[in-house]
Structure 1
Amino acid sequence: MNPSINPSLRRALVVIDVQEEYVTGGLLIEYPPIQESLANIGRAMDAARAAAIPIVVVQHTAPPSAPVFVKGTPAWELHEVVSSRPRDHYVEKAFPSAFAGTDLAAWLKARGVDTITVVGYMTQNCDDSTLKQAESAGLKAEFLQDASGAVPYENRAGFASAEEIHRVYSVVLQSRFASVMSTEAWIEAVSHNTPAPAVETIFDSNQRARRRQGVPA
């Protein structure tokens, strides 16, 4: 380990589902633009390696009958941005959360990790699920919002654009579950091994929103 790194902060970078399905397959990331988020994922992995932060690569697998993420298909493969870079641990998962049905929690605990930094896809599904389950695993969490991304949805409940979903989920995560930040800010933090900006609270986030709307807090 780099002797300049303060061992009191023990991060791991968790790279979630950076697979061709989101780049050339059936679930195309629309916001932020995929090439921007891919570039930032690569930057985050390089910065983690330079700072001796362990890197966990997660890959989603669906049943053979599924329309996406079928193991062995070209779209299931990891994107070159991730597959070409070194990693410390690999997790194959079948559920949204990278913790569900995997050895991730045990692997992190064995290495004394107390904070996970999540990048990858999708913001509203596997990223969100992993970040929220981190709390119950006793971990702090960080989310790099420009190294992740969303797709649009339309269903019986209505329509939401990828940008709307990504923005709203980022706000919700910052209200309790994760420190939401840019890749640039995270790289600056890890280069000095300093904490991320604080996670806020549901109450404070609500009161600030009420003031913005002109409603008495």
Structure 2
Amino acid sequence: MSSASPRRALVVIDVQNEYFDGGGLPIEHPPIAQTLPNVARAMDAATQAGIPVVVVRHHAPAGAPVFQADTPAGALHDEIARRPRDHLVTKAFPSVFTGTDFAGWLQARNIDTLAVTGYMTHNCVASTLFEGLHRGLAMEYLHDASGALPYANAAGRASAEEIHRVFSVVFHSNFAAVTSTANWLEALKARQPLGRDNPVFSNRRGRGLPVD
């Protein structure tokens, strides 16, 4: 990765009431009590530093069981809605890029680095990280400003902790620099890029082998 100062934007994905108590998809890990304040901290720091903040919301088609635009559960959480933002994206697919003006908005501002927060780790966040990398952007993921929920289906069962942990490891192996909110705030202050790992080194570490 280049050592040049990154032209960042902060992306806040789907921090909507659907993911909180009373919603249909309550986030379990990391706890909302930890991740929501970290999203807010990142937003406040970005605004103070003059870094564009893009807030994203998901609206499902009429009749879907979640993310209805005209319901309280489909609304942005108050902590997000009340904060300044530079752009609002409404999407209908997991990736923020798909069917929206997001890519053009970034290109018009010469953004080369996206810091991603929000929900869910394994769905809309993952889709956005993968597509951003494929579009030539440097991707950053604030692992303690995002979260997952448990799944069970015909393929098996996984806890929220397992999903969040495994996706974070996979992200850092190739797709995004995975970092804490605190470390990201330091990088923001220093105007420094954050590096990711690579599949070969990640695999060698996983096998207990040296990487030097």
Q: TM-score range by the shorter chain?
A: over 0.9
Give the structure 1 partner of residue 26 of structure 2: 28
Q: Deviations over 1:122-176 (max 9, x none)?
A: 0000000000000121100000000000000000011100000000000000000
Amino acid at match of 1:11: R
Q: How does 1:163-182 map to 2 (within 5 A)?
A: 163-182=161-180
Residue 109 of structure 1, aligned match among 107, 110, 125: 107
Query: Runs ≥4 in structure 1, deviation > 4 angstroms?
Result: none
Amino acid at match of 2:186: E
Name the CA distance, whole Å, in 2 between partners of 1:107 and 1:15.
15
Which stretches in structure 1 are left out of the alignment for 5+ residues? 1-6, 213-217
Give the structure 1 partner of residue 13 of structure 2: 16
Give the structure 1 partner of residue 204 of structure 2: 207
Amino acid at match of 1:158: G
Give the structure 2 partner of residue 72 of structure 1: 70
Amino acid at match of 1:185: N
Name the CA distance, whole Å, in 1 between partners of 2:53 and 2:124.
17
Q: Deviations over 1:160-211 (max 9, x none)?
A: 0000000000000000000000000000110111112x11111111111112
Give the structure 2 partner of residue 42 of structure 1: 40
Name the CA distance, whole Å, in 2 between partners of 1:185 and 1:203.
25
State, as a whole percentage, how many aligned pairs show the same letter. Answer: 58
Give the structure 2 partner of residue 55 of structure 1: 53
Which stretches in structure 2 are left out of the alignment for 5+ residues? none
Name the CA distance, whole Å, in 1 between partners of 2:203 and 2:101.
36
Q: Secondary structure at the match of 1:176?
A: helix
Q: CA RMSD in A?
A: 1.0
Please give the TM-score of this superposition, normalised by the length of structure 2.
0.95
Residue 84 of structure 1, aligned match among 82, 85, 104: 82
Contact map agreement 2:5 2:192 (CA 8 A) in 1: no
State how many pairs are aligned. Answer: 205
Please give the TM-score of this superposition, normalised by the length of structure 1.
0.93
Residue 98 of structure 1, aligned match among 96, 99, 103: 96
Shift of 1:8: 3.6
Shift of 1:118: 0.2
